[in-house]
Amino acid sequence: MKKAETFYEDILGLSLKFNFQNKGMMAFNVGDEDSAIILKDLKVFPEVKPTIWFMVDNVKIEYQRLKGKGVEFLSEPFEIHTGMAVEFEDPDGNRLGITDYSKDPKKS
């Protein structure tokens, strides 16, 4: 994680969005949007794959909607620092996720 932190912060010049290395994650801002590059420690998340995340208004509602359309999720929705999240894979095995800002009243 330290090498990745140095690469994204010092070499690419991205600013740190959050640092939860104690939980095996850190993220870097991409421009002025809510988009971020989220890095996961392989020691904490051995099955990790690069993941594209989409922000939704409510993860629990979107989870039920997508599940009703046959999407198979990797877990139940789970709490993160800013709200809720859950991941799934497309038919080709690409990892995707949805997240919300339900714990941040300025963003919800």
DSSP structure string for 42-84? TTT-TT---EEEEE-S-HHHHHHHHHHTT--BSSS-EE-SSSE
pLDDT recorded at residue 49: 84
Give every CB contact of residue 93 below 8 A, 6+ residues apart in sequence. none
pLDDT recorded at residue 33: 67
Q: Is the dihedral of CA 44, 46, 47, 50 positive or negative?
A: positive
**Residue from 63, 51, 60, 62 nearest 83 by CA:** 60
What is the mean pLDDT for each group of 10 consecutive residues in the chain (108 residues)? 84 84 83 73 84 88 94 94 91 86 75
Q: In the chain, what are the domains?
A: 1-41 (no CATH), 49-108 (3.10.180.10)
pLDDT recorded at residue 35: 67
pLDDT recorded at residue 107: 61
Helix and strand element counts for the chain (H, E): 2, 7
pLDDT recorded at residue 48: 81
pLDDT recorded at residue 24: 84
Residues 42, 5: Cα–Cα separation, whole Å? 14
